[in-house]
Amino acid sequence: MAEPNVSLAQDEFSCSVCLDLLKDPVTISCGHSFCMVCINGFWDQEDQKKIYSCPHCRHTFTSRPVVSKNTMLAEVVEKLKKTRLQAAPPDHSSADPEDV
């Protein structure tokens, strides 16, 4: 399984389950963040196995972790969404003329 090659910082704010920007981001104890609905849906499926894992790093939890909304992350994602809706700003490298 090859990891998709991600280059954008935006990836840090994406959910490994739906691969989109976090929606109602929650952070679990291994430090990874997911949409509230995604992680709950993921764990609902694992419920039968009585084992819960992080969809990102496969860290397993013996009991279903309590997730709480990461409000700080939510704000960052909101801002990111707004900038993503607009046209991406041209990434012209700041001219630093080291000329003669």
List residues binding Zn ion (CB under 5 A).
15, 17-18, 30, 32, 35, 38, 54, 56-57, 59
Q: Whole-number minimum distance, CB 92 to Zn ion, in Å?
A: 33
Q: Whole-number minimum distance, CB 35 to Zn ion, in Å?
A: 3
Instruction: Compute the residue count for the chain.
Output: 100
Q: Of 14 and 95, which has the nearer Cβ to Zn ion? A: 14
User: Any alpha helices (H) in 50-91, and if so which ranges?
Assistant: 71-85
Query: To the nearest 10°, the Cα dihedral for 32, 38, 41, 46?
Result: -30
Question: CA-to-CA distance for 25 and 37, rounded, in angstroms?
Answer: 9
Widest CA span in the chain: 70
Q: Of 57 and 72, which has the nearer Cβ to Zn ion? A: 57
Q: Of 66 and 87, which has the nearer Cβ to Zn ion? A: 66
Q: Whole-number minimum distance, CB 39 to Zn ion, in Å?
A: 8
Q: Which backbone phi and psi does 82 adopt, to 5 degrees?
A: -65, -40
Q: Whole-number minimum distance, CB 85 to Zn ion, in Å?
A: 18
Q: Of 32 and 64, which has the nearer Cβ to Zn ion? A: 32
